Structure 1
Amino acid sequence: MRTPLGAFIFVIIMLLLDAYVFQVIKTLSQSASPRTRTIIFSIYWAISIIAIIGFILFVFTGPDFLPRKVRTYLFATVIGLFLAKFLAVVFFLVDDIRRLIQWASGKLFFKNTEGETISEDHISRSLFLSWLGVAAGGTLFGSLVYGFSNKYNYQVKRVSLKYDNLPASFKGLKIVHFSDVHSGSFTNKEAVKHGIEKIMAQNADLVIFSGDLVNDKTIEMKDYMDAFNKIKAPMGVYSTFGNHDYGDYVSWPQDGITKAQNLKNLMQVHKDLGWRLMMDEHVALEKNGEQIALIGVQNWSAKARFPKYGDMAKAYAGTEKYPFKILISHDPSHWDAEVRPQYGDVDLTLSGHTHGMQFGVEIPGFKWSPVQYVYKQWDGLYEEGRQKLYVNPGYGFIGYPGRVGILPEITVIELT
Structure 2
Amino acid sequence: MLRWILLFILIFLLDFYAFQVVRTLTKSSWIYLIYWVLSILVVGNFTYYYYNFVRGESFTHGHGYALAFLIMLFLPKAFMLLFMLGEDLVRGVSYGIQKLSGNEVHFKGRREFVSKLALGVAAIPFASFLHGITRGKYNFQVIKHQLFFEDLPDAFDGYTITQISDIHSGSLESKSEIAEGIDLVNRQNSDLILFTGDIVNSKAEEMTGWLSVFDKFEAKDGKFSVLGNHDYGYYAYGGDIELNRHNQMKMEEVHKRIGFDLLLNESRRIEKNGQHINILGVENWGASRHFPKRGSLKEATKTIGENEFNILMSHDPSHFDYEKMELNTDDINNHDIVIDETNVINFGKDIQLTLAGHTHGMQFGIELPALGIKWSPVKYRYPKWAGLYKVAGKYLYVNRGFGYLAFPGRVGIWPEITVIELKKGKKEA
TM-score range, shorter-chain basis?
Answer: 0.7 to 0.9
Distance (Å, rounded) in 1 between the aligned partners of 2:301 and 2:90: 59
Cα separation, 2, equivalents of 1:119 and 1:306: 64
The correspondence for 1:58, drawn from 23, 37, 49, is 49
Aligned to 2:72: 80
Which of 370, 388, 391 aligns to 1:384? It is: 391
Q: Would you say 1:339 and 2:344 are equivalent positions?
A: yes
Which residue number corresponds to residue 220 of structure 1?
Answer: 206
Q: CA deviation at 1:56?
A: 2.5
Say whether residues 1:168 and 2:150 are aligned partners. Answer: no
TM-score under structure 2 length normalisation: 0.83
Query: Who is 1:18 aligned against?
Result: 15
Query: 1:185-200 maps to which residues of 2 (within 5 A)?
Result: 185-200=171-186
How far apart in 2 are the matches of 1:341 and 1:273?
A: 34
Describe the shift of the 1:299–1:252 C-alpha distance in structure 2 as closer, same or farther (beyond 3 A): closer
User: What displacement does 1:260 show?
Assistant: 2.4
User: 1:128, CA displacement in angstroms?
Assistant: 5.4
| Inter-partner Cα distance in structure 2 for 1:192 and 1:348 | 28
Contact 1:103–1:119, Cα closer than 8 Å, also in 2 = no
Does residue 142 of the first structure (1) align with residue 130 of the second (2)? no
Partner SS state of residue 174, structure 1: strand
- Taking the aligned partners of 1:119 and 1:344, their CA distance within structure 2 comes to 78
Aligned pairs for 1:120-269 (under 5 A) are 129-148=114-133, 149-251=135-237, 258-269=243-254
Structure 1 residues 408 and 297, CA gap change in structure 2 (3 angstroms):
same
Measured after TM superposition, the shift of residue 326 of structure 1 is 0.6
- Residue of 93, 105, 126 corresponding to 2:85: 93
Query: 1:207 deviation in Å?
Result: 0.8
Once the 2 structures are TM-superposed, how far is the Cα of residue 262 of structure 1 from its aligned partner? 1.1
Q: Please state how far the C-alpha of 1:57 moved relative to its aligned partner.
A: 2.4
CA contact (8 A) 1:325 1:348 kept: yes
In structure 1, distance between residues paired with 2:115 and 2:346: 50
The structure-2 alpha-carbon separation of the partners of 1:386 and 1:54, relative to structure 1 and needing over 3 Å to count, comes to: same
Q: 1:129 to 1:297 in 2, by over 3 A?
A: farther
Counterparts of 1:69 and 1:376 in 2: how far apart (Å)?
A: 30
Indicate the SS of the match to 1:258. Answer: helix
Give the Cα separation in 2 of the matches to 1:284 and 1:188.
36
Match of 1:299 in 2: 284
Please state whether the residue corresponding to 1:339 is helix, strand or coil: coil
Following TM superposition, by how much is the alpha carbon of 1:137 offset from its aligned partner in structure 2, in angstroms?
A: 2.8
Measure, in 2, the Cα distance between the counterparts of 1:260 and 1:135: 53
Q: RMSD between aligned alpha carbons?
A: 2.9
CA distance in 1, matches of 2:265, 2:219: 22
Name the structure 1 match of 2:369.
364
Q: What amino acid is aligned across from residue 335 of structure 1 in structure 2? A: F
Cα separation, partners in 2 of 1:119 and 1:378, compared to 1, 3 Å: farther
Shift of 1:126: 5.2
SS in structure 2 opposite 1:19?
A: helix
Per the TM alignment, residue 162 of structure 1 is displaced from its structure 2 partner at its CA by 1.2
Shift in alpha-carbon separation, 1:362–1:207, aligned structure 2, 3 A: same
Q: Distance in 2 between matches of 1:128 and 1:304?
A: 50
Aligned-partner Cα distance in 1 for 2:104–2:253: 74
Structure 1 pair 62/373, CA: closer, same or farther in 2 (3 Å)?
closer
Shift of 1:297: 1.2
Q: Summarize deviations over 1:154-181 as a string: whole Å, max 9, x none.
A: 2222211111110001111111100000
What is the aligned partner in structure 1 of residue 401 from structure 2? 394
> In structure 2, what is the Cα distance between the partners aligned to 1:150 and 1:262?
31
Deviation at 1:382, TM superposition (A): 1.4
Paired AA for residue 54 in structure 1: N
| 1:87 aligned counterpart, secondary structure | helix
Corresponding residue number in structure 2 for 1:115: none
> Conserved in 2, the CA contact under 8 Å of 1:167 and 1:323?
no
Distance 1:391 1:231 in 2: 21
Tell me the residue number matched to 1:272.
Answer: 257
Question: Kindly tell me: are residues 315 and 344 of structure 1, through their superposed partners in 2, closer, same or farther at Cα, counting changes over 3 Å?
Answer: closer
Residues 171-230 of structure 1: CA deviation (Å, up to 9, x unaligned):
111111000000001111121122112222222111100000000010000011112122
* 1:161–1:101 CA distance, 2 compared to 1 (3 A): same
Q: Secondary structure at the match of 1:12?
A: helix
State the structure with bigger RCO (CA 8 A, min sep 6), 1 or 2.
2
Hey, what's the Cα distance between the residues in 1 that align with 2:321 and 2:116? 44
Q: State whether residues 357 and 371 of structure 1, in contact with CA within 8 Å, keep that contact through their aligned partners in structure 2.
A: yes
The TM-score with structure 1 as length reference comes to 0.85
Residues 374 and 228 of structure 1: is their aligned pair in 2 closer, same or farther, counting only changes over 3 Å?
A: same
CA distance in 2, matches of 1:312, 1:131: 58
Separation in 1 of the partners of 2:104 and 2:216? 73
Greater displacement, 388-397 / 129-138: 129-138
Question: What amino acid is the match of 1:353?
Answer: H
Task: Give the letter for the 2:302 counterpart.
Answer: A
In structure 2, relative to structure 1, the CA distance for the partners of 1:103 and 1:285 (3 Å cut) is: same
SS of residue paired to 1:340: coil
Select between 118-127 and 48-57 the one with higher mean Cα deviation. Answer: 118-127
Give, in angstroms, the shift of residue 241 of structure 1: 0.9
Q: Greater shift after overlay, 52-61 or 289-298?
A: 52-61
**What residue in structure 1 maps to residue 426 of structure 2?**
none
Question: Secondary structure, in 3 states, of the residue corresponding to 1:295?
Answer: strand
Confirm or deny: 8 A CA contact 1:103 1:120 kept in the other structure. Answer: no
Q: 2:4 corresponds to which residue?
A: 7
The 1-side partners of 2:97 and 2:300 are apart by 66
Secondary structure of the residue that 1:377 maps to in structure 2?
coil
Instruction: Tell me the distance in 1 between the aligned counterparts of 2:120 and 2:292.
Output: 40
